[in-house]
Each structure stands twice: as structure tokens, then as C-alpha cells.
């Protein structure tokens, strides 16, 4: 079995075989954990969510291995496993293990407790980094909320529904938008769609403000590559010069550029007057169906 890990010296993601615990070096864990904290801190600062996710995953894996090693090789001071482990070469007293690894027993107990619910632990680590990044963003007043509340007219949602056969998730929504989209599940600004996994068939018209739009573009590509999302249609303005547009274009299977402009609707039904056309990015295997359906509103470009 292999796993994706960072080479901490090069910063590259590499595939490494899972270590056998008898070749395990517990004295390296403390340094690795600190290095992974530095990667997490960097990813948070750069708001690189896929990198953040991978670094957190690796941190959790390292802790799992360490806790397992501790369980198998460290005897308790108070009786416990000591007699059981006493005749093993690799048995350590608690003090010796702390000295060897630089990690204390209370720290190991803390990791063990958190690892008992791995999903929650992962979400806590990710959520903390995300909040910190977003807090910094708020300080810079980069986030306007008003510009995010523009909803997709029903006719375009129906085209996406026709291609995908349904909409399981709208990860950037509101109660008002959901009355048109009618996805099986939604996320809103309150529970933050960026903090969840995206499964099934996804409709996405992301918030337009920066850096949210970049994060949503990176997230849709990451979720598709992770194999959780089976299909998706993402609608944005056709700002073809932006980084987020290129992020999405690199990951999509086809893009439809609209003829004319979509008049998005405000929560009270007022139509917008956008100054440019829009793009629908398609992710999935039904490219032929996407072309057939979306050619009615524009021209479609396929991924090379």
C-alpha cells in the first residue's frame, strides 16, 4: 500500500510505500510534525487548499504511526503493558521513550484522543487554518459579500441538470438560490462549502469575490481529481485572463462560452447587467451530451 506524502526537502508530492513499523524511526516524528506544521502554515498563508489538505493528511498519518509505535513499544510506568513488553529488545520505559523521541506521554495521549475521530480531527485542523486565512483576509477588507448574491436563472440550471441527470450538491448557495437550484444538498457561507467534501453531481456558481472564486475553482478541480465528484458544471464570468479561470480550464473536460450575457438575478429578482459573457465548465464523462445541450447557448471548446 502506498500513500501520497511531501518530500519535506523538495516540497514535492511523492508516492511512498507505507512503512513497516519495525523499520520505523520514532525519533524523527517530532521534526516531521514541526515541518508539516510549517507546510500547513505556508499553505494557509498562500490559501492553497489542496496543499493544506495533503499536509494535514500527512500530519495525521505520521501521528497514527507514532501512536501505534508507542502502543507496541512503550511500557507504562504504572504496570500496564510493561511486563508484556519486558522481554522485547525494543521495549522502552516511558521516560526513555520521551527522551528518545522528544514527545511526552501526555502529548501521545492527546494525539490518541484526537485520532479516535479522524474525520473530525481533519476538519478541525483544516477549519482552524481556513479561519485564520480568512480572518487575515477580512482584515484586508478583500471580501465584499454583496457581489456574491447573484443567482442563476432557472433555464441555465435546467441545462446543467439535463446533462448530469440531476444535481446532488450546490456547494455555494443560499436558501433563496436553492429554491431554483433544488440540489439534494447545499452548503452556504454559514457552513462554508470549501470545508466539505463534494460528492456526486455538482452545480457551482461560485461567489465572485476574491479570493473565494480562486478557492472554489481550485476546490472543484481537486474534488474531481479525488474521484469524489462524478460530474460538475461550473458557471462563471468569462474572465479568461485570470488565474482562477486557468485553474478551472486546466481541470475541465469542456467549456461553453455563451453567446450574449446571462442576466443573473438578485435575491429580490432584479436582473444584473454584466459587462461580459459567461462560461460553463464541464467536468465528467458526458462531454458529448454537454456539447449537444450547451451548443444552444454558445460554442463549446473541448479539453486538448
Q: Which of residues 102 and 211 has its CB atom nearest to ligand SAM in the complex?
A: 211
Q: What is the DSSP string of 14-36?
A: EEEEPPPGGG--GGGHHHHHHHH
Q: Which of residues 66 and 245 has its CB atom nearest to ligand SAM in the complex?
A: 245
Contact, 292 vs 241, CB < 8 A?
A: no
- Is residue 32 part of the contact set for ligand SAM (CB under 6 A)? no
Contact, 273 vs 263, CB < 8 A?
A: yes
Q: Which of residues 49 and 70 has its CB atom nearest to ligand SAM in the complex?
A: 49
Q: How far is the CB of 129 from ligand SAM (least distance, A)?
A: 14
Place of cell 506521554: 105
- Is residue 217 part of the contact set for ligand SAM (CB under 6 A)? no
Q: Which of residues 102 and 274 has its CB atom nearest to ligand SAM in the complex?
A: 274
Q: Which of residues 177 and 252 has its CB atom nearest to ligand SAM in the complex?
A: 177
Binding map of ligand SAM across residues 162-181, x = CB under 6 A, - = no contact? --------x-xxx--x---x
C-alpha cell belonging to residue 140: 484586508
Q: What is the DSSP string of 52-112?
A: HHHHHHHHHHHHHHHHHHHHHHB--TTSTTHHHHTT-TT-B-HHHHHHHHS--HHHHHHHH
Among 44, 63, 101, 152, binds ligand SAM (CB under 6 A): 152
Q: How far is the CB of 65 from ligand SAM (least distance, A)?
A: 33
Q: Which of residues 75 and 207 has its CB atom nearest to ligand SAM in the complex?
A: 207
- Is residue 76 part of the contact set for ligand SAM (CB under 6 A)? no
Q: Dihedral, CA atoms, 128, 130, 59, 95, nearest 10 degrees?
A: -20
Q: How far is the CB of 36 from ligand SAM (least distance, A)?
A: 25
Among 149, 197, 243, 253, binds ligand SAM (CB under 6 A): 149
Among 206, 189, 194, 195, CA closest to 151: 206
- Is residue 194 part of the contact set for ligand SAM (CB under 6 A)? yes
Q: How far is the CB of 221 from ligand SAM (least distance, A)?
A: 17
Sign of CA dihedral 245, 248, 254, 255: negative
Q: Regarding beta strands 169-173 and 185-188, do their DSSP bridges make them parallel or antiparallel, or are they unpaired?
A: parallel
C-alpha cell belonging to residue 241: 485572463
Place of cell 526537502: 9
Instruction: State how far the Cα of 147 lies from the Cα of 151, in Å rounded to an integer.
Output: 11
Q: Which of residues 3 and 131 has its CB atom nearest to ligand SAM in the complex?
A: 131
- Is residue 192 part of the contact set for ligand SAM (CB under 6 A)? yes
Among 205, 218, 236, 258, binds ligand SAM (CB under 6 A): 205
Residues that bind ligand SAM (CB under 6 A): 148-152, 170, 172-174, 177, 181, 187-189, 192-194, 205, 207, 212
Amino acid at each position: 500500500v502506498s500513500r501520497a506524502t511531501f518530500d519535506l526537502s523538495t516540497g514535492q508530492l511523492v508516492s511512498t510505500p507505507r512503512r513497516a513499523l519495525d523499520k520505523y524511526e520514532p525519533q524523527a516524528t517530532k521534526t516531521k510534525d514541526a515541518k508539516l506544521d510549517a507546510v500547513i502554515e505556508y499553505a494557509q498563508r498562500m490559501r492553497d487548499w489542496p496543499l493544506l489538505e495533503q499536509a494535514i493528511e500527512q500530519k495525521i498519518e505520521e501521528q497514527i504511526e507514532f501512536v501505534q509505535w508507542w502502543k507496541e513499544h512503550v511500557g507504562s510506568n504504572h504496570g500496564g503493558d510493561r511486563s508484556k513488553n519486558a522481554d522485547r529488545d525494543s521495549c522502552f520505559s516511558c521516560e526513555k521513550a520521551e527522551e528518545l523521541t522528544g514527545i511526552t506521554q501526555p502529548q501521545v495521549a492527546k494525539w490518541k484522543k484526537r485520532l479516535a475521530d479522524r474525520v473530525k480531527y481533519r476538519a478541525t485542523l483544516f477549519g482552524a487554518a481556513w479561519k485564520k486565512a480568512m480572518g487575515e483576509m477580512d482584515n484586508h477588507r478583500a471580501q465584499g459579500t454583496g457581489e456574491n448574491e447573484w443567482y442563476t436563472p432557472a433555464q441555465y440550471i435546467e441545462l446543467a441538470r439535463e446533462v448530469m441527470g440531476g444535481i446532488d450538491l450546490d456547494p455555494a448557495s443560499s436558501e433563496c438560490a436553492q429554491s431554483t437550484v433544488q440540489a439534494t444538498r447545499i452548503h452556504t457561507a454559514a457552513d462554508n462549502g470549501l470545508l466539505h467534501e463534494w460528492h456526486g453531481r455538482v452545480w457551482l456558481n461560485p461567489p465572485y469575490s476574491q479570493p473565494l472564486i480562486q478557492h472554489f475553482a481550485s476546490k472543484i478541480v481537486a474534488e474531481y481529481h479525488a474521484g469524489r465528484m462524478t460530474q460538475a458544471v461550473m458557471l462563471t464570468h468569462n474572465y479568461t485572463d485570470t488565474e482562477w479561470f486557468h485553474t478551472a480550464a486546466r481541470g475541465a473536460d469542456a467549456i461553453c462560452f455563451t453567446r450574449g450575457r446571462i442576466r443573473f438575478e438578485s435575491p429580490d429578482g432584479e436582473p444584473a447587467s454584466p459587462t461580459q459573457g459567461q462560461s460553463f465548465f464541464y467536468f465528467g464523462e458526458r462531454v458529448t451530451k454537454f456539447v449537444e445541450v450547451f451548443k444552444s447557448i454558445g460554442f463549446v471548446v473541448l479539453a486538448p
